[in-house]
Amino acid sequence: MIKVSKEAAPQATSAPPTLFDGSLADVSFIAGMLVDTFCCHLPLYRQHQRLLQAGIPLSRTTLTQQVARAAALLSPIHLAQLDHVLESQVWPWTRRRSRPAARPRAR
């Protein structure tokens, strides 16, 4: 809500665009959920409990589907990074200038 002056009526700003069609979750919610899941190692059932305590009734199935859809969106970035590493002349974990025999299969 924005109120320009004392005499003006409050004006509502539009909602930010959602990441997925038919979903009310915005980018910040999805990003926070992914960070909590994969960086902070917070399982989805705990995130579900936190959301319920905050008064946000979402099912665990919905959370799981959101994570799967977000992972699908990040897949091209993962594959591009994998290709870049596999094309590199130096393998950081071995510190050798050799290349493995075959590329792992994409999932």
Q: Residues 61-94: pLDDT tens digits?
A: 999 999 999 999 999 999 999 898 888 777 666 6
The residue among 12 and 103 whose pLDDT is bigger is 12
Mean pLDDT, rounded, for 7-21: 76
Tokens of 30: 């999805």
Q: What local confidence, expressed as pLDDT, does residue 31 receive?
A: 94
Answer whether 11's CB lies under 8 Å from 5's CB: no
Task: Give Dmax over CA atoms of the chain in angstroms.
Answer: 73
Q: Is residue 97 predicted with pLDDT exceeding 70?
A: no
Cα angle for residues 11, 13, 15 (degrees, 5° grid): 150
pTM of the predicted model as reported, rounded to 2 decimal places: 0.66
Mean pLDDT, rounded, for 16-33: 85
Q: Is residue 101 predicted with pLDDT exceeding 60?
A: no
